[in-house]
Structure 1
Amino acid sequence: MNRYQNVLVAIDPYSTYQPVLDRALSMVDNPAQLSLIHVTYPQRYFGPYGGDAYGAEMAQDWQTKNIEQINEIAQKNGLPLSQVYTPEGDAADEIHAHAKNKDCDLIVIGTHGQHGLKLLLGSTANAVLHGVKCDVLAVKI
């Protein structure tokens, strides 16, 4: 079996992620061949008069919490912390950019696979699938 060498695993640490990570780990010889990514959507809060009352502080706290959570997942699964990425932005765009910049040969992402052909993949998994240059494995959660 031809093994993948550089795999990007996109997870949501606040959802069911372990089956996605387990599938990715089964496709490589060494956990160091994996990169873990969790993209945070920009969090902004605007007060009643348009001011950013606590928005910047709240967004920083949320991003710090995300980084701690994803680092814990990486350590628990034997992945190097140097290969953990927590960018902020549009999930599909950030996953595409990271896969291209790091020359990934596979992206593994979870999907809830709801009803009907249109809903076969979740919106993020569907967006990642389109426009990417490497293989994509959608793991049904």
Structure 2
Amino acid sequence: MLYKKILLAIDLTDESIKVANKAAELSKAMGAELVIIHVIEALNYAYGGDVPIDITDIQNQLKETARERMTVLESQIDVPVKETCVTQGGIESEIHRIADEKDVDVIVVGSHGRHGLALLLGSTANGVLHGAPCDVLAVRVHRSE
């Protein structure tokens, strides 16, 4: 199967470059466009909508910091990036929404391969897999690498 458009969903942790490099390799091999997304989980979403203070400034600062880190990441990979997107909301639902909206063929995410309780509760990679409108590639990352 030929992928024409790849959505790289990153969390902007130190391991993001490993996942980005895999997406870049896939993009090169397939001649595919690369779109990068980072989702900021809305604080009111994370806390069930019950945040007693105005968090607009905090959310705006989180978005600005994310955009800056995305620019750095984009400069570290050796393929052109068609588009970057910093969005806010539920992580899995936003990734699914953007994948559908951009008509991507595959979503690339990092997976820490957690076990035990974290595995039981589910991971972001697992959440992205279920309900994705396309293929999902989970890139295994280890903090010790």
Q: Same fold (TM over 0.5)?
A: yes
Q: Matched residues, percent identical? A: 36
Q: 2: CA distance between counterparts of 1:3 and 1:137? A: 14
The answer to whether 1:90 aligns with 2:90 is yes
RMSD after superposition:
2.6
The answer to whether 1:23 aligns with 2:25 is no
Answer whether contact 1:9 1:24 (CA < 8 A) is retained. Answer: yes
Name the counterpart of 1:130: 130
Distance change >3 Å, CA 85–CA 51, structure 1 → 2: closer
> Rg: which structure is higher?
1
Matched position secondary structure for 1:67: helix
Equivalenced residues, count = 133
More strand by share: 2
Distance change >3 Å, CA 72–CA 127, structure 1 → 2: same
**TM-score of the pair, normalised by structure 2:** 0.79
Comparing 33-42 and 120-129, the one that deviates more: 120-129
> Where does 1:43-82 land on structure 2 (aligned, <5 Å)?
43=43, 50-52=52-54, 55-77=55-77, 78-80=79-81
Counterpart residue identity of residue 18, structure 1 = I
The answer to whether 1:14 aligns with 2:10 is no
